[in-house]
Amino acid sequence: MSDLAKIKTIAKNRLDKLTSREKIYLGIILFLFLFQFVLREGYDIDLNTNPYYISIFSLIGLVIAWRRRSKSRIEIKDKSLRSIIFNDYNFSSYASLSILSLLYAILQGIFSGACLGFISFALGSLFRGGDVIASNVGYCLSCLFLIVITRVLIEGTSLIFRVAEDISKAVNK
């Protein structure tokens, strides 16, 4: 059996083991990867990337982060921002923490989606040259760094609000 036949057999076996949901995700990823070859308009030579293509990934990342935040809030039975603003007349919950959570979900979604877009664009640019690949990998690493910095800054800010909330609860006892 040739090496190519072995690779085909391994790939077929691996695809057969995927669940239907994993196959859908794989199809979406493949579609988005191939979409960059159709979306030739918008390629910026100075940036070595396509901002339109990256924006698509950023929007997808934003939607995924929003859904994950919603699921997380339901699991921990957290009050919604709307509920805090319109129903909390005792000021027992802080809207600031909910707003910070929302802000982090938005920024995390945009940056993580863009990061995946840059990696996908870099992989699709194998024949364009090393400078395009290096630029997009650098952009991806910058997005990861921005996610970490955003998380640390929001955690620091939320720490202040949590301490204030604990002091407020202790005083109101």
SS3 letters for 91-111?
CCCCHHHHHHHHHHHHHHHHH
HSE at residue 135, side-chain half, CA atoms within 13 A, is: 16
pTM of the model: 0.72
pLDDT of residue 115: 93
Distance CA 100, CA 155 (A): 9
Domain boundaries, the chain: 1-38, 42-171
- pLDDT tens for residues 52-69? 888 888 999 999 998 988
The C-alpha atoms of residue 61 and residue 147 are separated, in whole angstroms, by: 13
Residue ranges of the chain whose pLDDT lies below 70: 1, 37-46, 80-84, 86-94, 128, 173
What's the gap between Cα 80 and its chain centre? 21
Residues 6+ apart with CB under 8 A from 173: none
**8-state DSSP, 44:** B
